[in-house]
Amino acid sequence: MTGDTTNADELKRPLDRSLNGPGTPDEWAAYLATTPPGPETASVLPVLDAEKLSHTGRIDALKALERHTAWIQAQQAHILAALEADAQDALPAGVWDRDAEGGWNFACEEVACALKLSGTTAAKRLEVARELDRHYPTTLGLLERGVICYMQAVAVTEACAVLDPEVAGQVEAALVEKMPGMATGQTRRALAREIVRADPHGAEQRHQARKRARQMVHYPQDDGMAMWGAILPAEQAAAMTQAVDAHAATLADDGRTLEQKRVDALFDLVVHQAGGGTPAPTGRSAAVVQVTVPLDVLIGDSDDPAQLKGYGPITAGQARDIAFAEGTTWRRLIIEPKTGMLIKTDPTTYKPTAEAERHVIARDAYCTFPTCRMPAHRCDLDHVEPFNHDKPSAGGQTTPENLGPLCRRHHLMKTHHPGWSLERDASTGIATWTAPTGHTYINRPHDYRD
């Protein structure tokens, strides 16, 4: 993050130049997109006039404004934390406790009125600010430097709320270097995994408590519809999803979308299998629940988290329950220790073409566009270097090194949209996307160590 090391003199020089004659709006946008935000840089933001910027400049301006938004939100957090402290200091001596806070602490009401927020939203803002100020100053510092967004900071406070302060500090420290390169969803998944790793016993206890509270859910919705489902253990949900998908694949191609078929398959499995109508067709594909678990966790020497495909981190106890359940099939995955990238799948159970597909899906886990989380098994396998149909030996080989999963949208964009291009480093698995503006965006393969 070279922008974070810019010193005050370096920042002052271009600002001084602006007094005599600033650069072009595009030059300012590029500069502000990588410079730590603050009062000085905020004072020149008006130069980022959308009408005077090129398309490339507008992207840089967007990044610059987002960094300053984070900086402003950090300043708000400081003020909110101070207001919270003021309110607590004003409480009558000897009567304050957590139960009495709602009766005496009126900071929430004042913030709600000042910012035109609901009481619930104001209370949440105060809670996040208090937690950042008291327990997560490093995360607050990242927000102030504009290298993470506010929702990432919120994610830290929410995910770590179940932990003791010392353990929460360990989780935060483990992610400090990674968060600036993550989207909010990636941050939440990384937090979930680090929490299981840092507090395996607590994670198992919380899982068992939630398991005991499993329940059916049924909510009415508009236009004669309803939402129906269940809150249940993640491994059961994964198995049910796979069973529904397998049954949906057997339904007639009659114009229904995939989602419509999945809903119809769920109804068929529940109602007809239960004897409410015609039995469901037989001969469906077996459901597959994929769990990635280190060997030391499998044999009980470690309580590090495992990874349940389609869900995320699960406890070591859940992983062992799945692994040793009747009918479980194990497949070997080999990873590169330094990068955590999958380099080889067990070739003994599938033909080579199926093996290559299985390898790429397991290696990348998701669509290789940086912000996309479409599961790889629902993506197209794209040739990074286009396949040469006229002369296949000339390039674009159908090998794992030249294949990557792309959802249909990003596959079409790469193939048909002028200006978008993709390169993949075979040694690291890093995919580099170049936008029509010349900006580059990095996507790393799934790291099986995390």
Mean pLDDT of 141-152: 97
Mean pLDDT of 91-101: 51
Mean pLDDT of 432-440: 91
Mean pLDDT of 126-138: 96
Place of tokens 């004072």: 43
Per-range mean pLDDT, top range of 144-153, 281-290, 334-343, 424-433: 144-153
Q: Is a pLDDT exceeding 80 seen at residue 159?
A: yes
d(CA 76, CA 154): 13
d(CA 431, CA 358): 19
Q: What percent of the chain has pLDDT over 70?
A: 81
Average confidence score pLDDT of the chain: 83
- The predicted model scores a pTM of 0.72
CA 135 to chain centre: 23
The pLDDT value recorded for residue 354 is 72
Q: Is a pLDDT exceeding 90 seen at residue 232?
A: yes
The pLDDT value recorded for residue 21 is 38
d(CA 376, CA 404): 9
Please report, as a single letter, which amino acid is at residue 95: V
Q: Is a pLDDT exceeding 90 seen at residue 154?
A: yes
- Pick the residue with more confidence: 396 or 416? 416
pLDDT digits (tens, 9 = 90+) for 162-212: 999 999 999 999 999 999 999 999 999 999 999 999 999 999 999 999 999
Strand (E) or helix (H) holding 415: helix 408-416
- Contacts of residue 259, Cβ cutoff 8 Å, sequence gap at least 6: none
**Could you tell me the pLDDT band of residue 351, with boundaries at 50, 70 and 90?**
very low
- Contacts of residue 60, Cβ cutoff 8 Å, sequence gap at least 6: 26, 29, 30, 32, 33, 439
3-state helix, strand, coil in the chain (%, to 5): 50, 10, 35
Please report, as a single letter, which amino acid is at residue 317: G
**Could you tell me the pLDDT band of residue 335, with boundaries at 50, 70 and 90?**
low
The pLDDT value recorded for residue 6 is 40
pLDDT digits (tens, 9 = 90+) for 30-40: 999 999 999 99
Q: Which of 18-32, 95-109, 167-181 has the lowest mean pLDDT?
A: 95-109
The pLDDT value recorded for residue 301 is 85
The pLDDT value recorded for residue 36 is 94
At how many degrees (to 10) do helices 150-159 and 55-89 cross? 40
The pLDDT value recorded for residue 353 is 61
**Could you tell me the pLDDT band of residue 344, with boundaries at 50, 70 and 90?**
low
